[in-house]
Amino acid sequence: MIPSDWLDQAARRLKGQIQQTPLTFDSDLNAYIKWENRQLTGSFKIRGALNKVLTLQDWELRRGLVTASAGNHGQGVAEAGRRVGAPVTVFASSHAVPAKLDAMRSMGAVVRLVEGGYEDAERAAQSYAIQHDRTWISPYNDGQVIAGQATIALEILDQLNSLNGGAAPSAFIVPVGGGGLISGIGAVINSPAFDQVNPRPRLIGVQSEASPFFHALYHHGSQAGVVEQESLADGLAGAVEENSITIPLVRRFVDDFILVSEKQIASAVVYAWRRHGEKIEGSAAAALAALMFSDTVAPRSFEHPAVAVMSGGNIQPEVLEKLLQD
């Protein structure tokens, strides 16, 4: 479990340090959309990374920070390191989105590319941190990172109170990679902050059919045999670290876990731009696709209105342009 006081402390720690991103209502989808693509560094990851870094001791910062990332978490750690004056090294897959790699470098991080996928980069990063006595910042397998991500749910609750007198959505629709974001939201939904919300919203995880590692863990108890394919939702790709604390948290908090297709993800990217003028990446679009195609992918999973978290907007410009032209 993530202690309730950690959630409150994270909210206080991050107050004034990050953006409060918009929450809007989409009448066509009968759903709320949380635009975390407008967050600093272009994704929610700054919440968890900064919260974790701000809890570190001076000696941990002086050692230097090491992480693995598909791009968004690395940007979050790079920005957090820049603020506290700590050097940052990010290990990333050689297949990572170039725009995300460039953004990490522009924030002062040293980026080391690893052949293979995210899982290979994560193993290399952990080995490097041990061998060189650096401070490891996990993208998801860390209670303080999860507590930072949880602040999204607290923010949504405050915004709902302002929008409609406290009426809560029936469900939270959340994209899932390593499970840090959905674990944090689940911790808040099951904390005293939601005691007055009746019934408590359901919590729905979403992944791409192309990289369904956590989906397999949730429904079958194992990632063994999962075959990963290239996905627009690059931030959700890769296996989950063995014995990650997010695994029991997801099993405890999440009510259902669904998959969306690459075609549906692409449609959601286009919808966000044309309907709302919002640039979202494939990872965020997975949650929007679950709303758009709920009758197909989740006919009995949740009711409307729900709230979908748009986790990031760091899409390669030429990818967005191609999707809009197709």
**DSSP3 helix / strand / coil % (the chain, rounded to 5):** 50, 15, 35
Query: Percentage of residues in the chain with pLDDT exceeding 90?
Result: 86
- Total-model pTM: 0.95
Q: How confident is the model at residue 197 (pLDDT cuts 50, 70, 90)?
A: confident
Q: Report CA-CA distances (Å) from 109 to 104, 165, 238, 312.
A: 6, 43, 22, 20
What is 46-136's CATH number?
A: 3.40.50.1100
Contact 166, 135 (CB under 8 A): no
Provide the pLDDT confidence category of residue 195 given band limits of 50, 70 and 90: confident
4-44+143-325 classified as CATH 1.10.260.30: no
DSSP H stretches of helix in 174-245: 180-189, 213-220
pLDDT for 162: 79
Phi-psi region of 301 (alpha: psi -120 to 50; beta: other; left: phi over 0): alpha
- Residue 269 reports pLDDT greater than 80: yes
172 φψ region: left (φ > 0), alpha (ψ -120 to 50), beta (else): beta
How confident is the model over 207-220, as a mean pLDDT? 97
C-alpha 293, offset from chain centre:
21
Tell whether the torsion through CA atoms of 109, 111, 117 and 119 is positive or negative: negative
Tokens of 180: 């840090």
Q: How confident is the model at residue 193 (pLDDT cuts 50, 70, 90)?
A: confident
Distance CA 254, CA 194 (A): 16
Mean pLDDT to the nearest integer, 278-288:
98
Q: What percent of the chain lies above the pLDDT cut of 70? A: 99
> Which among 290, 122, 280 has a CA at the least distance from the CA of 208?
290
pLDDT tops 60 at residue 217: yes
E strand or H helix that includes residue 202: strand 202-208
Residue 261's CB is within 10 A of a number of other CB atoms, namely: 16
- Where do you find CATH 3.40.50.1100 in the chain? 4-44+143-325, 46-136
Instruction: Pick left, alpha or beta for residue 30 (phi over 0 → left; psi -120 to 50 → alpha; otherwise beta).
Output: left
φ, ψ of residue 31 to 5 degrees: the values are: -155, 155
Mean pLDDT value of segment 285-291: 98
Residue 305: cis peptide before it, omega within 30 degrees of 0: yes
Handedness of CA 141, 39, 318, 273 (dihedral sign): positive
DSSP line for 11-62: HHHHTTTS----EEEETTTTEEEEEGGGSGGGBTHHHHHHHHHHTS-HHHHH
- Burial of residue 316 (CB within 10 Å: 0-12, 13-18, 19+) is middle
Contacts (Cβ under 8 Å, ≥6 apart) of 86: 53, 61, 62, 64, 65, 80
